[in-house]
Structure 1
Amino acid sequence: MSLKRSSFSFFFLLFSFFSLSSHVSSQACQKTCGQIPIKYPLGTGAGCGDPRFTRYITCDPDQQTLTLTTHTGCYPITSVDYAKQEIYVTDPSMSTCACTRPSHGFGLDWDAPFSFHDDTVFTLLDCSVDESPVFTPLSNGSGRVSLCDRQSSSICTFLYSNCRAISLINLQVSTCCVYVPLDLGPSFEMDLKKLQCSSYSGFYNLGPGQESHPENWNYGIALKYKFNVFDEYPGVCGGCERSNGACGFNTQTSSFVCNCPGGINTTSDCFFLYNSASILVPWLSREWVVYPLSWIVVWMVMSLR
C-alpha cells in the first residue's frame, strides 16, 4: 500500500510539473513595456514590481504604453532612468512651443512614492492679474505684487519672445509665474482653476546653450523615486534580476517573490531553472514552490515507511 501511495504521489508531481506552463503563463511579468525596459520597482501588472508603485504605474497590454495615473489624470511615461531613479512623463494638455492648450493642471497623490525632480520647472500661463492668488494685493492697496520666481523671469521672456505658439496669446510677462515644486505645498497640487490660470508648461534639462531656445527644451515632468524609507535597493531583488527574473510580490501578503520565465514564482531567484536537480510542486497556499529534487526523494522514501 505504501508503494502504491508513493507511486501515485510521484506521478501526481510529474503531472503537476508538466501542466504548470499552461497554469502560470498568463502570470509572467514583462521585461519591457513598448520600448521602455521594466525593472524594479516598476512592474507591468498585479504582483510585478513594488506594490507601492503598482496602483500608479501600469502597462497597457494592447498598446504597450507605460502610464502614470494620479488624481488629476493619466500621463504617458516617455522614459525611465533607473540609475538616477528618475521617471519622465508628458501631459497631453501641457502647452509647448508647438501648441498652447487649456489645462486643468497636474498633481501627485499625497501618498504616491514619487516627488518632483529639482530640475522640473513649471510656468503658469494666462493668469488673471485681478483674481489669481499668484498676485497678492499690497497692504496699502496701491496694487498687486507677483509671487513669480524672479530669479527665473528670463524663462518667461524666452517663452514669450521666442515661442510663437505662446506669443500668439498676447500675454504680459508679468502674468507668467515660474516656481519650483516645493511652492506647490505638501499636496503637490497645481489646480489651474483655483489659480485662475488657463494653461501651464513644464520642462526639465534645458541643455547647455539652449536657455534662449525654448523650441529645444525638454517639455514634460521629471519625477524621482526612492526604493524605501532608507532608499536601499533590496539585495534579494538584485539576485532575482541577475537570474533573469523579475522582482514582484505576493498579491495577498505583499511579501517578495521572484517571477521567473514562464510565470513561475519563487522566494529567491531563478537559478533553479538551470539546475536539473530541482522540481516544482504545488503548496497549500495555491502557489507553486520550487524544491530541490533531493527533498522530493527523501519525502517519497519517508512515505514508504
Structure 2
Amino acid sequence: MDSPINTSAPQLLALVVALICVVLTYSQSTLCRTTCGGIPINYPLTIDDGCGSPYYRHILACSGDVLELRTPSGRYPVKSISYSDPHILVSDPQMWACKDEDRFRPTRPFSVDSSTHMSLSNQNEYLFFNCSPDKVIMEPRPMFCERYPERCDSTCDPASYLCRHYPECNASTNKAMRDISCCSYYPKATESLRMMLKHCTTYTSVHWKSVGGLGTSRPYDQVPEYGTRVDFDIPTTSTCLRCQDRAKGGGTCGFDTSNQDFLCLCEQKNVTTYVKITMLKATVDTLEQLQCNGGRTVTGASIAGGVGIGVGIWYLKKVRAKAPVTHGVQTNDNRMF
C-alpha cells in the first residue's frame, strides 16, 4: 500500500500563492465590465462603481442585457454609444414615433444633469404637436427671424423640414397626420421644454445621424432618426494615459469610491500611478503584496485574498507544528519523493 505524499512547507506556500493569484486575477479582471447588451462600455463611462471617471458615477445601469441612462427625468434605454464622437443615443418609449400616427400620449420632459459633464446635443430637434396658438408662437422661422430678430429663439417653426417629412413615416401615416399641427423648436433649458409641454399635446426628439457626404449641409449628409443624443466629455489626464499604457502594464482607469481619487485598476492590485509588473516570490512577505491597496471597491478580491492568506498562514503554522524534528536528517516522514 502506497504511503500518503507529504507536502513540504515551500510547496504548500507556493500552492496558496497560486490559488490567491487565480482568485485575485479573476476578481480584478471581472471588476470593470466592458459591455452591456452588446454596447461597449469604455472610459470614462462605467456600469461598475469605482471604474471609469467619477464624473459619470451611477449614470449608466446594466440590468441583464439592457443598458439604461439615468437622468433627473428618468431612466432611458441606450441605443448606442460613440467614443470617437463622444455621445450616447437614448430612446424614450413614451415619446411619439411614426408608428403612433395620430395617437398621442402625455410624456415627460427630458433633462440631463450638467454637473455630470453631459449635455443635450445641438444635433437634436424637437417636434411639438397640437400646440395652443394662443400660448405658443408658431411662425415659419426664417421670416419670423427677419421681422423679429430679438425674438427669433422663441418661435416654433411649423414649416420645418421634419414637420414636412416625418422620419420613418409612410404615405398613410402622413395622411393621418395631415390635420395635426406640428412645429419644431429647440429648447435651450429643461424649463423651456416643460413650458412647451404645458401648451402642447406631446413632443418627440429627433437627432441627425451622419451618413457621410462631407462638405454638404443637412439634410443631405444626414438622416433623421428618433432618439435623443446626449454628448459627454472624455477627461484626459496624464495619470490615466500612463495607467492605460501597455508598456507600463496596461491597467484600467478608475477611482477610489471613498474619496474619488484616481486609481489604476490592475489584475493583482490597484495603484495610484500605473501598473508595474513584478514576478511574485513564494514567500509570506509576497502574500501581503497581493492585497489590493486602499480596500476600495474590489470587495471580492479583497475578501478572497484576505481569506486565502489567513487560511494559508494558519495551515502553514499547523503543518510546522506537527512536523517531526529531524535535525536535517532525511527520514520516511519528511522525504520529498
TM-score where L is the length of structure 2: 0.61
Match of 1:148 in 2: 156
Matches within 5 A, 1:234-249: 234-243=237-246, 244-249=250-255
Deviations 1:192-228 (A, max 9, x none): 642433232322226569949x9x6322111212235
Match of 1:127 in 2: 131
Contact kept, 8 Å, 1:40 with 1:247, in 2: the verdict is: yes
How many residue pairs were aligned? Answer: 255
Where in structure 2 are there 5+ consecutive unaligned residues?
A: 1-11, 140-151, 302-337
Matches within 5 A, 1:178-189: 178-180=184-186, 183-185=187-189, 189=193
Match of 1:265 in 2: 270
Deviation at 1:68, TM superposition (A): 0.7
Deviation at 1:170, TM superposition (A): 4.4
Q: Distance in 1 between matches of 2:35 and 2:58?
A: 18
Return closer, same or farther for 1:30/1:269 CA change in 2, 3 Å cut-off: farther
Deviations 1:63-92 (A, max 9, x none): 2x3211112221122222212222211222
Does 2:206 align with 1:199?
no
Q: Distance in 2 between matches of 1:251 and 1:49?
A: 11
Match of 2:68 in 1: 67
Deviation at 1:252, TM superposition (A): 0.3
Q: Distance in 1 between matches of 2:210 and 2:129?
A: 19
Match of 2:9 in 1: none
Matches within 5 A, 1:171-182: 171-172=179-180, 175-180=181-186
Q: Distance in 1 between matches of 2:20 and 2:164?
A: 66
Q: Distance in 2 between matches of 1:260 and 1:163?
A: 57
Deviation at 1:95, TM superposition (A): 2.1
Contact kept, 8 Å, 1:192 with 1:198, in 2: the verdict is: no
- Which one has a larger percent strand, Structure 1 or Structure 2? 1
Q: Distance in 1 between matches of 2:14 and 2:56?
A: 36
* Alignment-mate amino acid for residue 163 of structure 2: C
Does 2:34 align with 1:31?
yes
Q: Distance in 2 between matches of 1:12 and 1:191?
A: 69
Return closer, same or farther for 1:270/1:79 CA change in 2, 3 Å cut-off: farther
1:217 is paired with a residue of what secondary structure? strand
Contact kept, 8 Å, 1:109 with 1:187, in 2: the verdict is: no
Return closer, same or farther for 1:188/1:226 CA change in 2, 3 Å cut-off: farther
Q: Distance in 1 between matches of 2:133 and 2:259?
A: 53
1:127 is paired with a residue of what secondary structure? coil
1:95 is paired with a residue of what secondary structure? coil
* Alignment-mate amino acid for residue 273 of structure 2: S
Contact kept, 8 Å, 2:128 with 2:200, in 1: the verdict is: no
Where in structure 1 are there 5+ consecutive unaligned residues?
A: 1-10, 137-144, 290-305
Select 1:255's aligned residue among 261, 282, 304: 261
Match of 2:46 in 1: 43
Taking only aligned residues, the RMSD between alpha carbons, in angstroms, comes to 3.9
Does 2:290 align with 1:286?
no
Deviation at 1:42, TM superposition (A): 0.2
Q: Name the % identity.
A: 24
- Which one has a larger percent helix, Structure 1 or Structure 2? 2
Contact kept, 8 Å, 1:96 with 1:165, in 2: the verdict is: no
Return closer, same or farther for 1:59/1:109 CA change in 2, 3 Å cut-off: same
Larger Rg: 2
Return closer, same or farther for 1:157/1:283 CA change in 2, 3 Å cut-off: closer
Q: Distance in 1 between matches of 2:192 and 2:113?
A: 8
Deviations 1:10-55 (A, max 9, x none): x999967843654682771112222122211101211111112122
TM-score where L is the length of structure 1: 0.67
* Alignment-mate amino acid for residue 44 of structure 2: P
Contact kept, 8 Å, 2:110 with 2:190, in 1: the verdict is: no
